[in-house]
Structure 1
Amino acid sequence: MSGSAHASAPAGRWVTEVIPASFERVDTADDTAGEWISRRYHRPENAFVRLNMVATLTGSSTGADGSSTSISSRVDRLLLGAIRREADVVVVGAETVRAEGSVLPKTARLAIVTATGDLGDGSLRRRDGREVPPALLLCRPEHAARVTAAVGNAPAEVVAVPSSGAPGEDASRLHPVDIVRALHARGLRRIVCEGGAGLATQFVESGMVDEVCVTVSPFLEPVHHPFLSLSTSVPSEVAGMLVDDAGFSYRRLTIRR
């Protein structure tokens, strides 16, 4: 989940497509920029799983403030909007919500993976007073009562997700296979996971991810929270890449199966 730009970074304005090598560019201050970006992030399928993350050149998923806010950019937020508009649901971990807060998305449901219901202060805010569906709090059945008690009157619905016994499943955490199955059961088939890093790694290693969208910011930060901590190689190929005039790059990687 992304926020405001790094204090020392110039604000990128022009974005150029380098893969495919069209070298078309757009001024993000122009009214046509949103449509230009949306065309490049469109997926025609009725069901898919995307991962959308931001990382520094050193591979950190967070900046000095402990969140992705300080390593993001204005263009990154434009891409975030385009990716969310393609989705039925945005999946995040509760730790990310505690670190960064969460405004309920305009066009997609928000699903939060939690074992405790602890979402921190000021979370689950509605944008500009808009009426949007409540967040889905995904948890194991044995944690449902605790999560329900913790969220109180917050705009949220607790969803108990049973285990399917997926290979390599950690009894203490929800498995991505079960998360995806529970969302599909609610008609939410176009899924984007926005981390944090631990949940992102789980999703990629589970084989559930079709495409990885990653913003690489031009910062050298200590790596306390790696963007991904994979235990094995995951075959992929670059499906698209944009760059801006502030040094940020924006890649889409297709996972090969």
Structure 2
Amino acid sequence: MLHRDDVLARYAVADRTLPHLRMNFISSLDGSATQGGLSGGLNNADDKLVFDTLRMLSDVILLGAGTLRDEGYGAMRLDDEAVRWRVQHGLAPQPTFALVSSRLGLPATHPVFADAPVRPLVLTHDAAPPDARDELASVADVVLVGSGAVDPWLLRGALEQRGLLQVLCEGGPHLFGTFLAADAVDELCLTLSPVLEGGHAGRIAVGPEETPRRMHLASVLQADDMLLLRYLRDPATDAAGSRAATGR
């Protein structure tokens, strides 16, 4: 069984003053993102500890509307121990919840809004239904971050303007794919569940085209047969891209 102090040491961000977006996903050994249609079918108590710790370390938790519906999310609320840790370390008692949605199909009465400890954000674009925008504006700050579609970099900029620099994205695969295509992912926290699934379940990232991005393995935690991996952007790849862009 993992201990929180060890998990904290492995997943702490080196400099919280710099914007940082981390993805957190779980996968079977053969690449399935779900078991029985839900990601929760693949996890255990050790993965849950990492999941909760990543939330505790974050300024804002980002989630796609489809994943919220599929996984049955309620209000984002940390327990008392996590709140005490955050306050002791100069953080807000609770992270902000930010929902990414194009159609805005969730009612204002949904628990993720109605029971939220902090006023949530809804991140959408200028073509989202105006009536739905007005309804959700009564329970959340609705922010337009794109023309016709959500722009990952405009989204990140909107969060940064609110002082929400440490971003944790919990899904889903299409949101991950969109951020990957925009080269807007700084980190992937990936749990490898020791099962083979087969079937037709999707991957953790889905996008219209291949967008290779070299990552650097930052840490590995082993909990029995489960592996908890932390990957960061490869600085050598970033440096090569910068040299190519500047001709140096």
TM-score normalised to the size of structure 1? 0.75
The answer to whether structure 1 residue 251 and structure 2 residue 229 are counterparts is: yes
**Shift of the alpha carbon at 1:151?**
4.2
Q: 1:253 to 1:76 in 2, by over 3 A?
A: same
Q: Alpha carbons of 1:152 and 1:43: their partners in 2 closer, same or farther (altered >3 Å)?
A: closer
| Partners of 2:27 and 2:190 within 8 A in 1 | yes
Mapped partners of 2:68, 2:142: distance in 1: 16
Question: What is residue 71 of structure 1 aligned with on the other side?
Answer: 42
Q: CA deviation at 1:160?
A: 2.1
C-alpha distance after superposition, 1:18-64 (max 9, x if no partner): xxxxxxxxxx4xxxx22221111100322211111111112121111
- Asked if the contact 2:35–2:42 (Cα under 8 Å) also holds between the matched residues in 1, the reply is yes
What is aligned with 1:34? 4
For the residues of structure 1 that align with 2:20 and 2:137, how far apart are their CA atoms? 32
- SS of residue paired to 1:80: helix
Structure with more of its chain in helix, by fraction = 2
CA distance in 1, matches of 2:33, 2:132: 27
Note if 1:124 corresponds to 2:108. no
Aligned pair count?
A: 213
CA 1:251/1:87 → structure 2, altered by over 3 Å: closer, same or farther?
Answer: same
CA distance in 1, matches of 2:144, 2:214: 33
Aligned counterparts of 2:142 and 2:189: Cα–Cα separation in 1: 28
Q: Deviations over 1:154-188 (max 9, x none)?
A: x433222244xxxxxxx4x3121111011111111
Distance 1:58 1:87 in 2: 29
Q: Give runs of aligned pairs for residues 1-257 of structure 1, distance below 5 A.
A: 14=1, 28=2, 33-45=3-15, 46=17, 47-64=19-36, 66-102=37-73, 103-106=75-78, 107-119=94-106, 123-124=111-112, 132-143=117-128, 145-148=130-133, 151=136, 155-163=139-147, 171=148, 173-221=149-197, 222-229=199-206, 231-245=210-224, 247-256=225-234, 257=238
- 3-state SS, counterpart of residue 203 of structure 2: coil
Query: Alpha-carbon deviation of 1:123?
Result: 4.2
Change beyond 3 A, Cα 1:142–1:132 = same
Structure 1: give runs of 5+ residues left out of the alignment: 1-13, 15-27, 164-170
Q: Secondary structure at the match of 2:220?
A: strand
Q: CA 1:218–1:119 in structure 2 vs 1: closer, same or farther (change >3 Å)?
A: farther
Give 5+ residue unaligned stretches, structure 2.
79-93, 239-248
Structure 2 equivalent of residue 9 of structure 1: none
**SS where residue 81 of structure 1 aligns?**
helix
In the aligned structure 1, how far is the partner of 2:133 from the partner of 2:203? 31
Give the aligned residue type for 1:191.
Answer: V
* Residues 176 and 81 of structure 1: CA distance in aligned 2, closer, same or farther (over 3 Å): same
**For each residue in 1:61-94, what CA deviation from the matched residue of structure 2 results, as whole angstroms up to 9, or x when unmatched?**
1111x22111121111110111112211111100
Residue type at the aligned position of 1:112: L
Deviation at 1:105, TM superposition (A): 3.6
Q: What letter is aligned with 1:54?
A: I
Alpha-carbon deviation of 1:238?
0.8
